[in-house]
Structure 1
């Protein structure tokens, strides 16, 4: 990624996290970097394009951590636990930004596209973990893509409904920890069900 883009994303993330997305103007981001507005708009034509870039940056960072774990950590369940720990760290680190994002009125089509990319990235990562488990002989043969989609969907359902039966798209910090713990239980149940039984 271009250094200037990285600087702009960093400045936007700092402002969004501190002041909120709606209370931050593109002019303020430009001023922070001593850039002209025209120069800022050259890289990012609107605020949502900055939000997308931040989302992509966070996904890239977490993917790098997962790829390192795939190399270093043994055992499918341990890898799924590690991935949940990474997710918890990011949800806690960017909690205020996530809360604010739910208050922003963004074109549904663009938001849906970003959400779909995030879902597909997560499914791809889980699929890699399951394939590694099958290659190592730890797991039975299964359709990694379908199983990964089901696993990610179950985890998102747990997050959506949190500790009650009503949809709740925004979690408080304590709820994040509680939901991740429940997702760890889901991971354990799933892996115990698809583990190859020793003869």
Structure 2
């Protein structure tokens, strides 16, 4: 029994060690890919930053393209988490206001991820097309149906659900993708708590007042 327990603990330690190593590789990949893109980044750079050997990195991610896709999929999970939390049982304006706050938190906490995702979209999403037309589209269709139901029942102004979601994405991600411009013009960014709070309040007010039933 004792031997079995020791073996289980050792297995647990190995699993955690592997998970930590893979996360370090993904974090290093995100850092370089978001600055230099896939073509300007080398496997050697990522391995050195992650403090693993090139051979070890390639064991988990057999090519630079495989690593890049893994980084993008992790970004997509982070980016879509607020949309997954979008619930029909909330009041429409409350749900949309909360979604705005969560998306701005993503822009604040994961600016590199947002910029890399934007870069991939600008390039036509060659390595992420399947994810976009699969899980992303399914999720957006599901949430669009919720918005359409609110519109049909008179709880929201007559807006097209897809265009509302596109506007929410564009507005909230602007603060990450164009952070340098925001700071140059406003003198601050989302890392400043007071500026973050004002941003959330203003974006919520402008969008919510535009979709409120008159």
TM range (shorter): 0.5 to 0.7
Does structure 1 residue 25 correspond to structure 2 residue 46?
yes
How many residues align structurally? 176
Aligned to 1:185: 202
Aligned to 1:11: 24
3-state SS of 1:79 partner:
helix
Of 159, 182, 194, the residue aligned with 1:142 is: 159
Does structure 1 residue 50 correspond to structure 2 residue 64?
no
Question: Superposition pairs for residues 157-176 of structure 1, below 5 Å?
Answer: 157=174, 160=178, 161-165=181-185, 172-174=189-191
Alpha-carbon spacing, 1:99–1:76, altered in 2? closer, same or farther (3 Å): closer
Partner Cα distance (1:64, 1:176) in 2: 22
1:162/1:175 contact within 8 Å kept: no
Of 152, 165, 171, the residue aligned with 2:169 is: 152
Segments of 5+ residues of structure 2 without an aligned counterpart are: 1-14, 33-40
1:134/1:140 contact within 8 Å kept: yes
Return the TM-score normalized by structure 1: 0.55
Q: CA deviation at 1:138?
A: 0.8
Question: Superposition pairs for residues 54-73 of structure 1, below 5 Å?
Answer: 54-71=71-88
Q: CA deviation at 1:139?
A: 0.8
Partner Cα distance (2:74, 2:60) in 1: 18
Aligned to 1:40: 60
Larger radius of gyration: 2
Alpha-carbon spacing, 1:69–1:147, altered in 2? closer, same or farther (3 Å): closer
1:140/1:195 contact within 8 Å kept: yes
Q: CA deviation at 1:162?
A: 1.7
Partner Cα distance (2:115, 2:175) in 1: 21
Segments of 5+ residues of structure 1 without an aligned counterpart are: none
Aligned to 2:6: none
3-state SS of 1:54 partner:
helix
Partner Cα distance (2:200, 2:127) in 1: 25
Alpha-carbon spacing, 1:131–1:162, altered in 2? closer, same or farther (3 Å): farther
CA RMSD of aligned residues (A): 4.9
Alpha-carbon spacing, 1:38–1:147, altered in 2? closer, same or farther (3 Å): closer
1:131/1:144 contact within 8 Å kept: yes
